[in-house]
Structure 1
Amino acid sequence: MSFLGIEGCHAFVTGARGGIGSAIVEELLAAGCKVSAHDLRPPPKTTDSSAEALYHVTGDISDEASISSCFQQAISHFGPINILAANAGITDESSHPNIWELPLEKWENVYRVNIRGTFLTVKHFLLSAEKSQKEAGTELENLAIVVTGSECGKFGQAGHAEYASGKAGLQYGLVPTVKNEIVRLNAKGRINAVAPGWVDTELIGDRLEDPRERYLESQATVALKKIAQPQDVARAVAFLASHRASGHMSGQCLSVDGGMEGRVVWREEEVLGVSRTRTVAQQSQQAATTTLPQQLSSPSKSRNKIRIAWSVDFDAVSGWLGTGKHPNNTTSDYSQGYFSAHVGVPRLLRLFHKLGIEDKVTWCIPGHSIETFPEETKAIVQSAGEIAVHGYAHEAASQMTAEQERDVLLKCIQLIEGLTGKKPKGYRAPLYQLKERTISLLQEHDFLWDSSLSHYDSTPYFLPSKPAPVELPDFSPDVKAETWMHPSPNFTSLPKSNMVEIPCNWYAEDMTPLQFFPNVPNSQGYVDVRVIERMWKDRFEWLRSEIEDGDEEIKVFGMVIHPDTSGMAHVIGMIQRFLKWVQGFGDEVEFVTCGQLAAEWKSSQKST
């Protein structure tokens, strides 16, 4: 059991397509909940149901028949509901009238959704709980309601009279009332509220079509308020939803404001003179000539970006022919390779397109996959990602003679050049198994980068021009120890080539822990994807800490996934969660192909 202990609970989340709502959904899914995601807007057509743990319902929380129907749909799909995250609500950030200028219809519209809607949501959640308990003859476990309010409701905010009053009504009227009544229904039933301060949701991005305008707007906002991320609110919701974590707390309102109350009198455009309707050029000129008041901190120095070098090894059937060759391999084993092509590749391409990174992904494709699956390979090429060499039949250098290795490389170069019209510049050795001669061979054919080694874990480096092998000791009884007691060659002291190594290792991939191979000694395949997700996040957060500590070297977060593995239904949802989590760091990260990264790093070395 995790710290939260809400695995298997059914959670109903309203406003699930908003910035905070979608973060709440992802947090509860990560905690092991089954989630019914409710919103007025229908789910995106490309929505990945992460699969079985996520169910979408569409309706209007201010319409009693609609919200009642949505609860019934959710219960029919996942069973009784344990947790309600009443998050849906509206505010109008396009105008900030004084209260004496506020139109009545605007006031009433906010109350219709935020007060009436939340009341109806809570009402029908409790009605569903009462019915489920009667049918089961016992109280539901972990019955909890978490309402998201606002710092506006606690402290007021200029230009948000209708919103602040509505949220105050929720936090200080509805929550205490339900607190004293829910225990009649369930002895351990609880209700609490979360009051976010300024949160960096996607509202600004929805208004501003030009990403440069969004950047200027967000920079001004960060400089003024050091705003929170949706994930900060989501984690507070998950904490309050858990009986195990938040215990006997009920009727409480937790602030997520970083210590900054919501008593905002002046908005950023009033202080900085930046108008949302002005052009980017006008905003830039104004920013250059405006002096911030002394009590406001200046924007922090631009930090070094973490380069996300996301790559896919499209091994497919070839994975069973070379390094995975075994006399006991069966047709059933080979079928996983066909799954890789027919299911895994399309799923990954759709996901990368959905996230807007399809042209920033590097695909390492064995020649066998190119020739066996031409349509899938064509779709990869059309995504505009980089195509790199990955052997022909996924063979290790140790399985071939030097002549065979040369013939394989030439064949693969020819295949990729025929697809893309240009010679490939990148290489990854199948199963990372190359030899010293492989490096020399790649240099001979002017390869820009390799990604098979791990002398470092997050910093590109030049490979030696003439790599020296590591000699093994001979422990035979008739051999004197003095013959083998000497150091191995240190690659940093060897003459450098012009070929860039982009670090890669077993902990930066999906297949080893998440794919079962019957005839491979270290095969696993039954690891919880959240263990791997947490490990990747820990690695990423450590890189961020190094940058915060002043390390200005180019930092690369390299990753190798496989359609065989990450294309599986229980894995691809984790891949999506992780990529969206990384994208949430905004301009701290940049997705690049391995070729783009190698060229950038190589250029930086020439200038130093």
Structure 2
Amino acid sequence: MSPSTTPNWPGESRASMALAFDVDGPTGDAMLNGSIWQKPEYFGFGAYDPYRALPRILDLLDAVRIPATFFVPAWVVENWPRQCQAIVERGHEVAYHGYKHESFYALELEEQRQVMEKCREVFWKVLGIRAEGFRTPSGDWHTHTPGMLLDAGVIYSSSMRGDDRPYLVNVAGHSRPLVEIPGHWELDDYASLAYTKGPNFPSGLDRTASYELTLDNWCREFDGAMDEGLCLTTLFHPKITGKPGRLLLLERLFEHMRKRDDVWFATCRDVAHWTLKEHGND
């Protein structure tokens, strides 16, 4: 795809919006190194994600009639099965996000394969699905990761940052390429709304952005991408935006999105299949 190429979208749609949430729960570095068990406040913050915040997000998506993709570590699926089953039952996509939110860049190929095999087992046992998508928990990947994903039955990734259109990653020895649906930090709620008390910087000042400014930023990103005919996805987290006040922020964002009648609202899986079809690979 050349820099000047604008993707084609279904029907009369000018652009595509692939809303996505990462349901990380209490997984991550603290879970992987065991320090989470000495920091109960971190576990509680993470557990709020699938237990309390996720149901709110699902109710809001029902109200605005927008499909979404949820990237979920398999450990979260194991420990909050009913909440994760509700994602599938309500018509959304669940995709891979590691087992305990591992850094795939730091894993050797065989270790990556073991993580993906565990994820596949859990998703099938608990959710009854073979997921087709993957978002690397660390925002990067190893050279061998695309081939490993294809071997695991994955057709797309939403991990990289190098474009604002879906593109194909060709892998030696594989007849079908991997679709990459890039995300960007501008649409990551952690960048604006995640509060941490350590380090205490800037000392004595607010460490979350104004909700009004955050909404304005997100609406401008959406408008710009849709005007150019691109594909926009998000890196939202229910434990960040699934709280009562912030849910109102999401509600206003979705209302803004719904004002346009030239946008294809789709799951990342739908975008991936469409992209493969457009390039003669489906």
Q: Which residue type is aligned with residue 211 of structure 2?
A: V
- Alpha-carbon shift at residue 387 of structure 1 (Å): 1.0
Q: Could you tell me whether the CA contact under 8 Å between 1:416 and 1:424 is conserved in 2?
A: yes
| Change over 3 Å in CA distance of 1:335–1:356 after alignment to 2 | same
Q: Quick check: 1:356 aligned with 2:65?
A: yes
* Equivalence for 2:231: 556
| Change over 3 Å in CA distance of 1:333–1:427 after alignment to 2 | same
* Equivalence for 1:367: 74
- Alpha-carbon shift at residue 448 of structure 1 (Å): 0.8
Q: Which residue type is aligned with residue 450 of structure 1?
A: S
Distance in 2 between the 1:395 and 1:345 partners?
A: 22
* Equivalence for 2:275: 601
Alignment of structure 1 residues 381-420 onto 2, 5 Å: 381-420=88-127
Q: Quick check: 1:513 aligned with 2:222?
A: no
Other structure's SS at 1:315 match = coil
| Change over 3 Å in CA distance of 1:544–1:341 after alignment to 2 | closer
Distance in 2 between the 1:391 and 1:354 partners?
A: 30
Q: Which residue type is aligned with residue 380 of structure 1?
A: I
Q: Could you tell me whether the CA contact under 8 Å between 1:355 and 1:580 is conserved in 2?
A: yes
Distance in 2 between the 1:339 and 1:577 partners?
A: 23
Distance in 2 between the 1:543 and 1:456 partners?
A: 12
- Alpha-carbon shift at residue 421 of structure 1 (Å): 3.0
Q: Could you tell me whether the CA contact under 8 Å between 2:20 and 2:235 is conserved in 1?
A: yes
Q: Quick check: 1:435 aligned with 2:142?
A: yes
Distance in 2 between the 1:521 and 1:417 partners?
A: 43
- Counterpart of 1:465 (choices 128, 148, 171) is 171
Q: Which residue type is aligned with residue 557 of structure 1?
A: L
Q: Which residue type is aligned with residue 167 of structure 2?
A: Y
* Equivalence for 1:332: 41
- Alpha-carbon shift at residue 327 of structure 1 (Å): 7.8
Q: Could you tell me whether the CA contact under 8 Å between 2:22 and 2:238 is conserved in 1?
A: yes
Distance in 1 between the 2:154 and 2:16 partners?
A: 21
| CA displacement 1:474-531 (0-9 Å, x = unmatched) | xxxxxxxxxxxxxxxxxxxxx9951100011222221232112445799985111222
| Change over 3 Å in CA distance of 1:422–1:371 after alignment to 2 | closer
- Alpha-carbon shift at residue 361 of structure 1 (Å): 1.0
| Change over 3 Å in CA distance of 1:323–1:496 after alignment to 2 | farther
Alignment of structure 1 residues 539-550 onto 2, 5 Å: 539-547=221-229
Alignment of structure 1 residues 566-577 onto 2, 5 Å: 566-577=241-252
Other structure's SS at 2:279 match = helix
| Change over 3 Å in CA distance of 1:353–1:544 after alignment to 2 | closer
Q: Quick check: 1:501 aligned with 2:207?
A: no
Q: Could you tell me whether the CA contact under 8 Å between 1:315 and 1:369 is conserved in 2?
A: yes
Other structure's SS at 1:431 match = coil
Instruction: State percent identity of aligned pairs.
Output: 22
- Alpha-carbon shift at residue 435 of structure 1 (Å): 1.2
Q: Quick check: 1:529 aligned with 2:235?
A: no
Other structure's SS at 2:257 match = helix
- How many residues align? The count is 267
| CA displacement 1:167-214 (0-9 Å, x = unmatched) | xxxxxxxxxxxxxxxxxxxxxxxxxxxxxxxxxxxxxxxxxxxxxxxx
Structure number with higher relative contact order (C-alpha < 8 Å, ≥ 6 residues apart): 2
| CA displacement 1:446-497 (0-9 Å, x = unmatched) | 311000001102x10001315xxxxxxxxxxxxxxxxxxxxxxxxxxxx995
Q: Which residue type is aligned with residue 118 of structure 2?
A: K
Other structure's SS at 1:560 match = coil
TM-score w.r.t. the length of structure 2 is 0.85
Other structure's SS at 2:149 match = helix
Q: Quick check: 1:582 aligned with 2:237?
A: no
Unaligned runs of 5+ in 1: 1-301, 467-494, 548-554
* Equivalence for 1:422: 129
Q: Which residue type is aligned with residue 411 of structure 1?
A: K
| CA displacement 1:107-150 (0-9 Å, x = unmatched) | xxxxxxxxxxxxxxxxxxxxxxxxxxxxxxxxxxxxxxxxxxxx
- Counterpart of 1:346 (choices 55, 58, 77) is 55
Q: Which residue type is aligned with residue 594 of structure 1?
A: C
Distance in 1 between the 2:243 and 2:81 partners?
A: 21
Q: Quick check: 1:453 aligned with 2:160?
A: yes
Distance in 2 between the 1:333 and 1:437 partners?
A: 32
Unaligned runs of 5+ in 2: 1-10
| Change over 3 Å in CA distance of 1:498–1:540 after alignment to 2 | same
Q: Could you tell me whether the CA contact under 8 Å between 2:156 and 2:179 is conserved in 1?
A: yes
Q: Quick check: 1:308 aligned with 2:17?
A: yes
Distance in 2 between the 1:362 and 1:416 partners?
A: 15
| Change over 3 Å in CA distance of 1:439–1:356 after alignment to 2 | same
Distance in 2 between the 1:327 and 1:414 partners?
A: 25
Q: Could you tell me whether the CA contact under 8 Å between 1:397 and 1:405 is conserved in 2?
A: yes
* Equivalence for 1:271: none
* Equivalence for 1:238: none
- Alpha-carbon shift at residue 443 of structure 1 (Å): 1.7
* Equivalence for 1:72: none
Q: Could you tell me whether the CA contact under 8 Å between 1:323 and 1:396 is conserved in 2?
A: no
Distance in 2 between the 1:365 and 1:434 partners?
A: 17
| Change over 3 Å in CA distance of 1:306–1:436 after alignment to 2 | same
Q: Could you tell me whether the CA contact under 8 Å between 1:312 and 1:362 is conserved in 2?
A: yes
Distance in 1 between the 2:33 and 2:246 partners?
A: 22
- Alpha-carbon shift at residue 429 of structure 1 (Å): 0.5
TM-score w.r.t. the length of structure 1 is 0.41
Distance in 1 between the 2:199 and 2:265 partners?
A: 33
Q: Which residue type is aligned with residue 94 of structure 2?
A: I
Q: Which residue type is aligned with residue 534 of structure 1?
A: D
- Alpha-carbon shift at residue 311 of structure 1 (Å): 0.9
Q: CA RMSD in A?
A: 2.7
| CA displacement 1:220-278 (0-9 Å, x = unmatched) | xxxxxxxxxxxxxxxxxxxxxxxxxxxxxxxxxxxxxxxxxxxxxxxxxxxxxxxxxxx
Q: Which residue type is aligned with residue 499 of structure 1?
A: L
